[in-house]
Amino acid sequence: MKVLVTGGAGFIGSNLVAYFNRRDPAIEVSVIDDLSTGRIENLDGLEATFSKGSILDYELLRDVTRGVDAVIHLAAIGSVPRSVNAPRPSHDANATGTLNVLEVARECGTSQVTVASSSSVYGSNKALPKSEFDWTRPMSPYAVSKHATEGYTIAYGFSYGMKTLAFRFFNVFGPGQPANHDYAAVIPRFLDAAINGRPVTVHGDGLQSRDFTYVRTVCATIFDAVQRGIYSLDPVNLAFGTNTTLMDLLGRMEVALGHKIDVQHVESRPGDVRASQSDGRRIRELFPTITPVDLDEGLAKTIQWFQGEQVS
């Protein structure tokens, strides 16, 4: 089997390449990444054919897609605040880029395409926990672009009979997730500050909640989907129904680190969702063999990586 991972030098992408290498070395993995947020060092020691370039480069994308059996589309410009500050790049990469990936796959006869959407598409829907069949109301340009990502993916399933699968990711975290930029995700940002003795900045009261999902759980699910050819004409929440506030998260970090964390509260950010939790039903129905890594174990392994230790 030959697999192409777009955005494969990024946090989730490089973890996924490593997971494929470990689980089935016979699978040939190719990566395309423009290294705007990914790092070539993330692929050190991994078996993957690397092409530097953007999914907005249609000709290059077609070249690297020829002959592959499955595409796993992770390339994107992430972050709600980044999209609020600059909406057009998010749209170009996430909406137009996804259309390119799907159209190239169709041209090349690659019927299996798995893509990363986001729980942010639920937006202002306050219902908890969230089902894939609940209404969506994006609150940020990023969320809109991810709505387009999954919309195009599902439409290609309906229109062309392709085996498409749109996963809605919920706050993925784990080793390899960068903390050293303005739009870092919450767990690496908190850990970087706490480990280095700086106050942790919390936007708002800290009672906003998330369904944190460890990256190995995400990789295991995607691997299973590719191996078994799973597809769906509805989106699938890739989360298992946890609900953790940021203050609870900080308490867990204090226990894991063995010391008190100083917290500094600042204004809430525009576009941020108050609460996010999947009901976990469809993911368990479609992927009954997947056992999610729990939050405390995932935090321990992430802290281990932040402290420079090898993570198994």
| Bridge partners for 50 per DSSP | 31
Backbone angles phi, psi at 66, to 5 degrees: -55, 125
C-alpha distances (whole Å) from 195 to each of 198, 205, 244, 307 are: 8, 22, 21, 8
Percent helix, strand and coil across the chain, each to the nearest 5: 40, 20, 40
In whole angstroms, what is the distance from residue 237 CA to residue 213 CA? 11
Contact present, 274 and 138 (Cβ < 8 Å):
no
Residue 95 lies in a domain: yes
Which amino acid is it at 117?
S
Q: Is the pLDDT of residue 273 over 90?
A: no
Element (H, E) at 90: helix 87-91
143-174 pLDDT, tens digit per residue, is 999 999 999 999 999 999 999 999 999 999 99
Domain count, the chain: 1
Which amino acid is it at 85?
N
Q: Is the pLDDT of residue 269 over 90?
A: no
pTM over 0.75: yes
Residue 161 lies in a domain: yes
In whole angstroms, what is the distance from residue 23 CA to residue 16 CA? 10
Q: Tokens for 180? A: 């050293």
Span of 54-58, 59-63, 205-209, 222-226 with lowest mean pLDDT: 205-209
93-135 pLDDT, tens digit per residue, is 999 999 999 999 999 999 899 999 999 999 999 999 999 999 9
pLDDT of residue 57: 98
pLDDT of residue 309: 66
In whole angstroms, what is the distance from residue 155 CA to residue 80 CA? 25
Residue 103 lies in a domain: yes
279-312 pLDDT, tens digit per residue, is 999 999 999 999 999 999 999 999 999 988 666 6
Can you give the residue range of the structural domain that contains 49?
Answer: 2-173+213-240+278-293
In whole angstroms, what is the distance from residue 159 CA to residue 106 CA? 11
Burial of 163 (0-12, 13-18, 19+ CB in 10 A): middle
Residue 184 lies in a domain: no
CATH for 47? 3.40.50.720
Residue 248 lies in a domain: no
Residue 25 lies in a domain: yes
Q: Tokens for 124? A: 């202002």
Q: Evaluate the CA torsion angle 55, 56, 57, 58 in order and state its sign.
A: positive
Residue 29 lies in a domain: yes
pLDDT of residue 312: 61
In whole angstroms, what is the distance from residue 130 CA to residue 240 CA? 11
Residue 155 lies in a domain: yes
